[in-house]
Amino acid sequence: MPPFAGLLAFEAVLRHGSMTLAGDELGLTQSAVSHRIRALEDFFGVALLERLNPGLRVTEAGGRLAQELGPLLGTLAGMHRRIVGRTGLRAFRLGLSTPLLAWWLSPRLPALCGGFPDLSIEVVTWDKAAEAARVDVDLALLWLPYANGVEGACALPFPIESVFPVVAPGLLSTLCPGQDWRALPLLAKGRRGDETGREWSWATWLQGDPGHEAVRFRDIGSSLQAAVDGNGVALARSLLAADALRQRRLTRLTGSDEIQACSKRQIARWRDTQDSTAERMATWLVLSAGQSVPVSNPLPVAIA
């Protein structure tokens, strides 16, 4: 019999078009996925994938195996549901960025699952916007420029967000009387000069003066965590920072008249199908986001 682990790895690589993304789904490293597929190729005695630079291509033999493999795995999945008596649940894949999951959705997952008891929800994350297009999900939460618009009927926008500086209360208390918060260490996301909007540039907040160089992190989630840990002042999105502000892990440093509007917004997007599940979940998430950041109830502000 062919190695079952190799069959699963091969099927995942076909869906994602990437050994790295297949490894993320299976909880394996890219090299482990490659090793399993090599073992499968050794069993059949033929190459199933051509390793290009970059990318992969399915060979003729790999294509024949793919045609047989899909129905086989579907049969096994159906057998599992019948045996364990879980025929009422169906799989649903929700895709979003890692920071959005960690800083907003994760505490709300029990309520989300409770609101959709007929689903087995699988949360799929990506670190870069470009990865989102390569991931097959039923509902995607995308961070898109306003210029993109909300195209078609299969999308819902989240509430409008703003950007503002935040800091851990303990670090704020280290300032001398009358000292401005801009004297504190600065934290930023992404490479210097790669900011996607003026609201993410410290020069905007320092009246055109870039000031002392900020410590930079790969994404906003990392910079917010560094701020919570007392490492400096970070620029935050209102939705991602909402829980930390309410829990007093972070403090907002500017008033409502000084915040900057986001040049992007969160969009829930799904496929155009007859099934309304994705639209219902998108509505649930958008309403929950509105409760997280109520426009009429501004969060407390500390002005140094």
* pLDDT in the model for residue 127: 80
Work out the average pLDDT over 105-123. Answer: 91
Sequence-ordered list of residues with C-beta below 8 angstroms from that of 82, at least 6 positions apart, any chain: none
E strand segments, the chain: 49-51, 56-58, 90-97, 119-126, 139-145, 155-157, 162-167, 187-189, 215-217, 234-237, 251-252, 260-261, 264-270
Q: Report how far residue 293's alpha carbon sits from residue 177's, in angstroms, rounded to the nearest whole number.
A: 31
Selected residue with higher pLDDT from 297 and 244? 244
Q: Report how far residue 297's alpha carbon sits from residue 279's, in angstroms, rounded to the nearest whole number.
A: 28
Q: Report how far residue 279's alpha carbon sits from residue 66's, in angstroms, rounded to the nearest whole number.
A: 32
* pLDDT in the model for residue 211: 58
Q: Report how far residue 140's alpha carbon sits from residue 268's, in angstroms, rounded to the nearest whole number.
A: 6
Residue where the block lists tokens 């703003």: 162
Please report the domains of the chain, with CATH numbers, ordered by start residue. Answer: 4-84 (1.10.10.10), 90-160+263-292 (3.40.190.10), 162-261 (3.40.190.10)
* pLDDT in the model for residue 255: 85
Question: Which phi and psi (to 5°) does residue 198 adopt?
Answer: -65, -25
Sequence-ordered list of residues with C-beta below 8 angstroms from that of 28, at least 6 positions apart, any chain: 9, 22, 36
> DSSP assignment, residue 233?
B
- Tell me: the pLDDT tens digits for 150-159? 666 689 999 9
Angle between helices 220-228 and 238-246 (to 10 degrees): 20
Residue where the block lists tokens 């033929």: 46
* pLDDT in the model for residue 134: 80
- Tell me: the pLDDT tens digits for 219-255? 899 999 999 999 999 999 999 999 999 999 999 998 8
Averaged pLDDT score across all residues of the chain: 84
For residue 9, pLDDT beyond 70: yes
Confidence of residue 281 (pLDDT cuts 50, 70, 90): very high
> DSSP assignment, residue 49?
E
* pLDDT in the model for residue 67: 82
Question: Residue 243 corresponds to which tokens in the numbers above?
Answer: 């829980």
- Tell me: the pLDDT tens digits for 180-189? 888 899 999 8
Confidence of residue 77 (pLDDT cuts 50, 70, 90): low
For residue 148, pLDDT beyond 50: yes
Sequence-ordered list of residues with C-beta below 8 angstroms from that of 55, at least 6 positions apart, any chain: 17
- Rg of the chain, C-alpha, whole Å: 23
- Tell me: the pLDDT tens digits for 29-45? 888 888 999 999 999 99
- Tell me: the pLDDT tens digits for 78-112? 665 565 555 567 899 999 999 999 999 999 999 99
* pLDDT in the model for residue 294: 57
